[in-house]
C-alpha cells in the first residue's frame, strides 16, 4: 500500500511539473502575432502524415534515418508497456495486460527487440556526436549546453532500455522459479537470455533487482517527461502540430502588409482614393519575438538542433556568419528570457533587450541568400527564412539600415521604377540603337 501511494505521488508530481512547463511554453508561443494557418485542412493532414508521421524528409540521409526510426517507433510503441507499469503501480498488480494471452507474448517480444534497437541507435548517435564529432554537431552555436542536452537524452534512453531488459530478465527468471506474485506471462526473446546469469541469485536478490529496475524505469520515464519541455527534444510533442501548421504557399513567398500594398497602388494610380487611416501605423518587420507570428515561435520550440538546415546553407558553407539553426535557437532563447521576465514583472514592462542585435546580428541576416535550402532540409518544416526576412524588413523599413549596395538599388527603384540607373523614358534606347 505504501509503495502504491509513493508511486501515485511520483506520477502526480511528474504530471503536474510537465503540465506547468507546457503552459509556460504555450503562453510564450501565444505572445506572437496572429496568423491564419487553418486553410486547406485536407492538405495539412496529408502533409503531417507524410512528414511528421512518415518521417519522409529524414530519408534524405538513410543511415541516420533508419536509426532515428528505431527510436521513434520505440518511443511510440513501448508506451503500451509504460501504461501497463502505471496501472500495476496504482493497483498493485503485476503484468495486468497478461490477460491478452498470446497477444501479450507478441507485444512483450516486440517491445524487447524495439528496446534493444533504441539502445543500439542511441549508442551509435552518441558515437557520432562525441567520437566521430560530425561537423554540424560542433559548430559555434553548439556550445556546451546544447551538446550536453543531447548527451543527457541519449544516455537516459540507453539506461532506461537497459533497465527495461534487465527487469524483464529478472522477471522471467522469477517466473521460471514459480516465485509468488510473478505470474507466467510474456515472451522474453532477448532478456530471457539473461536467465542463466541469474542462476546463482536467491529469489530475494532477484526480486530486489527486478523491483529496482521497475522503479528506475518508471521514475526515469517521469523524470524524462519533466525534462523534455526544457530540452530541444520537446519536438517529440510539437513536431506533429508544427508540421500541420506548415506554410503551404510557395517557399520564400513574401507576405505583404496591407498599408504598403495601398501605397504602391496609389503610386500606380494617383487618382485612386486613399484608404481611411486606422489607428497608429503598423510596425514594419520584426525587431523582437513579439513581432513574429505564433507559428514562427512554435518553429523555435520545435527545433531539435539537428543542424541539417545549417549543413546545406550556402552562406554558412562559404564561411559567412549565418547559421539557420542558430536563428531558431536564438529565437527560442530570447522567448524563454522574455517569458521568464513577464512572469516576474508583468507584460507592461520591457526588459531592454531585443532579438535583433542582442541575439541575432544584422551581419547574420544579410548573409542569407533566401535560397530556401534550410526550409527544404528541415525534417519538421521549420522556416528560418521567414524570421530572417521579417527582421531584414525591419532593418530596411524602420531603420534604413540596409547594406549600401541595397540602398542604392532601393533608391533607383523608387526613382526609376527599376534597379538600373536609367529613367523610364530611356529604357528602350537599346532598341533604337539596333
Return the number of other C-beta atoms located less than 10 Å from residue 192's C-beta. Answer: 19
DSSP string, 250-314: PTTPPPPPHHHHHHHHHHH-TTSPPPPP-SSPPPPS-SSGGGSBHHHHHHHHH-----HHHHT-H
pLDDT at residue 122, as a whole number: 95
Q: How many residues does the chain have?
A: 434
What's the predicted TM-score (pTM) here?
Answer: 0.88
What are the angstrom distances between the C-alpha of 432 and each of 260, 421, 426? 36, 18, 10
Q: How far apart are CA 44 and CA 232, in angstroms?
A: 24
* pLDDT greater at residue 364 or residue 283: 364
Q: How far apart are CA 343 and CA 270, in angstroms?
A: 49
Return the number of other C-beta atoms located less than 10 Å from residue 380's C-beta. Answer: 21
Among candidate residues 242, 216, 250, 198, the one with its CA nearest the CA of residue 47: 242
Please list, residue by residue across 81-95, b when 16 or more beta carbons sit within 10 angstroms of its beta carbon and e when fewer do.
beebbbebbeeeeeb
pLDDT > 80? residue 131: yes
Q: What are the pLDDT digits (tens) for 303-341?
A: 999 999 999 999 999 999 999 999 999 999 999 999 999
Strand, coil or helix: 325:
helix
pLDDT > 90? residue 42: yes
C-alpha cell at 237: 510533442
Q: What are the pLDDT digits (tens) for 106-129?
A: 888 888 999 999 999 999 999 999
Distance of alpha carbon 315 from its chain centroid, rounded? 23
C-alpha cell at 124: 551509435
- Percent of the chain at pLDDT exceeding 90: 59
The contacts of residue 395 (CB under 8 Å, 6+ apart) are 285, 356, 362, 365, 401, 402
pLDDT at residue 261, as a whole number: 81
With vertex at residue 362, the alpha carbon angle to CA 417 and CA 27, rounded to the nearest 5 degrees, is 105
**What is the residue-averaged pLDDT of the chain?**
90
- Percent of the chain at pLDDT exceeding 70: 97
pLDDT > 90? residue 416: no
Return the number of other C-beta atoms located less than 10 Å from residue 205's C-beta. Answer: 12
Residue 431 — very low, low, confident or very high, per pLDDT cuts 50/70/90? low
pLDDT > 60? residue 63: yes
pLDDT at residue 355, as a whole number: 97
pLDDT at residue 134, as a whole number: 92
Q: What are the pLDDT digits (tens) for 218-232?
A: 899 899 999 999 999
For 429, counting Cβ atoms within 10 Å of its Cβ (0-12 exposed, 13-18 middle, 19+ buried), the class is exposed
C-alpha cell at 162: 537497459
Domains of the chain are 2-30+61-244 (1.20.950), 258-273+282-423 (1.10.1060)
Amino acid at each position: 500500500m505504501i509503495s502504491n501511494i509513493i508511486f501515485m505521488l511520483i506520477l502526480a508530481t511528474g504530471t503536474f511539473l510537465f503540465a506547468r512547463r507546457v503552459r509556460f511554453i504555450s503562453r510564450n508561443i501565444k505572445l506572437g502575432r496572429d496568423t491564419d494557418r487553418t486553410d486547406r485542412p485536407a492538405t495539412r493532414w496529408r502533409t503531417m502524415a507524410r512528414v511528421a508521421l512518415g518521417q519522409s524528409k529524414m530519408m534524405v540521409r538513410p543511415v541516420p534515418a533508419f536509426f532515428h526510426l528505431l527510436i521513434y517507433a520505440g518511443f511510440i510503441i513501448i508506451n503500451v508497456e509504460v501504461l501497463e507499469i502505471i496501472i500495476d503501480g496504482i493497483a498493485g498488480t503485476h503484468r495486468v495486460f497478461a490477460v491478452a494471452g498470446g497477444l501479450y507474448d507478441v507485444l512483450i517480444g516486440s517491445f524487447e527487440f524495439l528496446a534493444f534497437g533504441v539502445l543500439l541507435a542511441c549508442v551509435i548517435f552518441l558515437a557520432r556526436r562525441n567520437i566521430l564529432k560530425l561537423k554540424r554537431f560542433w559548430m559555434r552555436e553548439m556550445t556546451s549546453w546544447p551538446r550536453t542536452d543531447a548527451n543527457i537524452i541519449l544516455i537516459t534512453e540507453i539506461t532506461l532500455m537497459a533497465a527495461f531488459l534487465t527487469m524483464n530478465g529478472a522477471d522471467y527468471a522469477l517466473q521460471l522459479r514459480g516465485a509468488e506474485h510473478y505470474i507466467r506471462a510474456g515472451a522474453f526473446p532477448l532478456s530471457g537470455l539473461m536467465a542463466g546469469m541469474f542462476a546463482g541469485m536467491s529469489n530475494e536478490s532477484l526480486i530486489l533487482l527486478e523491483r529496482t529496475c521497475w522503479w528506475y524505469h518508471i521514475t526515469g520515464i517521469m523524470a524524462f517527461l519533466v525534462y523534455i519541455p526544457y530540452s530541444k527534444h520537446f519536438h517529440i510533442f510539437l513536431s506533429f502540430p508544427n508540421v500541420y501548421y506548415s506554410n503551404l504557399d510557395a517557399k520564400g513567398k513574401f507576405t505583404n502588409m496591407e498599408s504598403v500594398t495601398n501605397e504602391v497602388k496609389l503610386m500606380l494610380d494617383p487618382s485612386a482614393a486613399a484608404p481611411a487611416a486606422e489607428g497608429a501605423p503598423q510596425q514594419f518587420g520584426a525587431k523582437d519575438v513579439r513581432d513574429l507570428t505564433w507559428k514562427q515561435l512554435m518553429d523555435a520550440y520545435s527545433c531539435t538542433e539537428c543542424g541539417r538546415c545549417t549543413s546545406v546553407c550556402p552562406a554558412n558553407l562559404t564561411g559567412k556568419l549565418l547559421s539557420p539553426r542558430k536563428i531558431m535557437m536564438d529565437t527560442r532563447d530570447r522567448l524563454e528570457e522574455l517569458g521568464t521576465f513577464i512572469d516576474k514583472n508583468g507584460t507592461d514592462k520591457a526588459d531592454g533587450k531585443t532579438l535583433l542585435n542582442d541575439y541575432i546580428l544584422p551581419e547574420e541576416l544579410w548573409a542569407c541568400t533566401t535560397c530556401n535550402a534550410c526550409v527544404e532540409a528541415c525534417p519538421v518544416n521549420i522556416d528560418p527564412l521567414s524570421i530572417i526576412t521579417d527582421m531584414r524588413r525591419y532593418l530596411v523599413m524602420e531603420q534604413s539600415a540596409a547594406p549600401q549596395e541595397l540602398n542604392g538599388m532601393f533608391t533607383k527603384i523608387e526613382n526609376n521604377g527599376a534597379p538600373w540607373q536609367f529613367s523610364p523614358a530611356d529604357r528602350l534606347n537599346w532598341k533604337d540603337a539596333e
